Each structure stands twice: as C-alpha cells, then as structure tokens.
C-alpha cells in the first residue's frame, strides 16, 4: 500500500520528528545549578538532581524554596545563572528559540489548579495542543481527544465548560491536555492542592498509570507527602536553595535526618523555624518602633 504525500502528511511527519529522541540515560539533569531573579538574592544554589527515564520524581520543600523555579528552568522559561540544565542530554540554557520550541514539544505540563482556557469546552481544551502543534485533520484530532479523555475518565464531559467542572474534574481535564501529545516528560506543579481525598487519590493513580503507559518521566512539585510516597520513585527535598536530602520513599520513611523527619511529620518545631529571625520581642514592644 502506497501512502500519497500531501500537506497534511508532510506536517504530520514533521510533527513526529519532534519525538525522535536519541536514547539517553537521563531525562533531566541539573548540574551545580544556581539561579536568581535578582543577582543580589539567589533562589537556587548548587542544585544537583537527576531524573531517569520512566521515573516519577517529587520535589518537596517549604513555600518559596525554589521548587517551581526548577520547573521553569527545565522548560526554558528562565535560564540558570550558572550550571547546566539538560533535558534528554541537551543543554536547555544553550537553546535558541527554535530548539526550545522543539524541546517543549516533548514536554507536558499540569499547572497548579489546571489553568484551563475558560472560554473553551473540555474537548477544545484537550484539542488545543494538537491543533497548535500538528497538521492532523479534525477527524484524527477528535479520536485522539476522546482517547485522552477516556484515559482520565471524562469522555462523557467533553461538551462541558470549565466553570461546570469540579476542582478534581478540572485537574483531570488539564492532565488529559498535558498528555495530548504523548510527552516524554511531564511536569506537575502542585497537582494535589485543594482536592478532596477521593479526587486526590484519583489524580495520584492517574499520574502513576499514565507515566508508565506513556513510558515517560515525571517531575512533581508537591507538599502532599503521603500521596507522593505512594506513587513516586525518588524524592528531593529543597531548602535554602539547595538539595538538603534525597532518597527513595522507603529511605525517606526511615530517615533520621532532622529536616526530613520534620517535613514528613508536619512538626512545627525543628530545624525549620516557625519564627522569622528578629530581635528581642520584649525590647521591641517597649521601644514603640516599627
């Protein structure tokens, strides 16, 4: 059987070429990465971490410690002040616009709270990356969208608008949109925030199952310790702009490191102080100064 070439065929071949990846032992590699939005105050300093193909890796730490910044560095929206960020063996910081666009075709992203397009239906939200990045016809896009929605259990909600969805449903639609192009790497920014226990468990199970089904790698920024320990392969703890601890879920559960113990148990007192550093409380009250 001979397939006749045409504009759509050629566009689809170009689209597929984005996914031809030379085998590499790491999906993501950060080597001695430092970054600061303002050079007088660094957000990250000497961060080293590795994500291997097929792994789900969690980034944990207090608010403002630089976890989401790491995702931005991986996606190339910001560039390291020093050090190297590599995705599938390619230096993201050295990429020009065309190379970044090509690299991002291999990435899927689930933003915090879903970030669906409010004026587009569920179907059109999931179809959006397919229409933007491929030359596929609407019949093929329809079939792919229904497949992705079936995978997250929401094929029956395809005609709803985002305002008609619950928080958990919106997160699942966003997940379907994130996997629309069968990415080799998924980035999740707080995927469990604000979800009820059933929705949280559902999203957690989907993340694990879809990662394995796609043969992809995933990085999850999260504060949800218990759910993460059930689905991830490895964890990095960030504090003060550095990796302060790391390990498998089994190693983390057994860890006697003060920071890890305090974080996974949610203890108020420990190496992470409750009070911001300040002068003597009594003296400050009596002084009347601000």
5-22 residue pLDDT tens:
344 444 444 444 444 444
Beta-bridged to residue 243, according to DSSP, are 238
128 falls in which pLDDT band (50, 70, 90)?
A: very high
What would the pLDDT profile of 243-269 be if each residue is shown by its tens digit?
A: 988 899 898 888 878 777 777 776 665
Q: 3-state class of 55 per DSSP?
A: coil
Render 60-123 in DSSP notation, one character per residue.
EESTTSSHHHHHHHHHTSS--SEEEEEETTEEGGG--HHHHHHHHTTEEEE-TT----TTS-HH
Whether the CB-CB separation of 243 and 49 falls below 8 Å is answered with yes
Q: How many CB atoms lie within 10 A of CB 196?
A: 11
Q: At what angle do helices 122-133 and 167-178 cross, to 10 degrees?
A: 20
Q: List the CATH code of the domain at 25-99+185-192+206-267.
A: 3.40.50.300
pLDDT band at 196 (very low <50, low <70, confident <90, very high): confident
Asked whether the whole model's pTM tops 0.85, one would answer: no
Q: What residue spans define the domains of the chain?
A: 25-99+185-192+206-267
């Amino acid at each position: 059987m001979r397939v006749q070439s045409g504009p759509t065929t050629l566009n689809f071949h170009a689209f597929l070429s984005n996914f031809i990846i030379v085998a590499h032992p790491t999906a993501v590699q950060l080597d001695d990465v430092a970054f600061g939005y303002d050079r007088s105050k660094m957000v990250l300093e000497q961060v080293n971490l590795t994500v291997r193909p097929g792994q789900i890796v969690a980034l944990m730490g207090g608010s403002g410690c630089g976890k989401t910044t790491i995702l931005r560095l991986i996606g190339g929206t910001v560039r390291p002040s020093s050090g190297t960020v590599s995705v599938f063996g390619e230096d993201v910081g050295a990429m020009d616009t065309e190379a970044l666009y090509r690299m991002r075709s291999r990435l899927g992203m689930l933003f915090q709270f879903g970030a669906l397009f409010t004026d587009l239906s569920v179907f059109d939200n999931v179809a959006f990356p397919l229409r933007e990045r491929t030359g596929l016809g609407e019949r093929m896009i329809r079939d792919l969208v229904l497949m992705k929605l079936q995978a997250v259990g929401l094929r029956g909600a395809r005609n709803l608008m985002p305002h008609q969805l619950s928080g958990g449903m919106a997160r699942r639609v966003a997940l379907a949109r994130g996997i629309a192009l069968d990415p080799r790497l998924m980035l999740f920014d707080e995927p469990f925030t604000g979800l009820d226990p059933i929705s949280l468990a559902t999203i957690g199970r989907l993340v694990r199952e879809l990662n394995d089904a796609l043969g992809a790698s995933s990085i999850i920024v999260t504060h949800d310790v218990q759910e993460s320990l059930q689905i991830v392969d490895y964890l990095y703890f960030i504090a003060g702009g550095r990796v302060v601890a790391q390990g498998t879920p089994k190693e983390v559960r057994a860890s006697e490191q003060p920071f890890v113990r305090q974080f996974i148990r949610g203890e108020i007192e420990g190496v992470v102080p409750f009070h911001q550093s300040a002068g003597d409380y009594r003296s400050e009250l009596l002084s009347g100064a601000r």
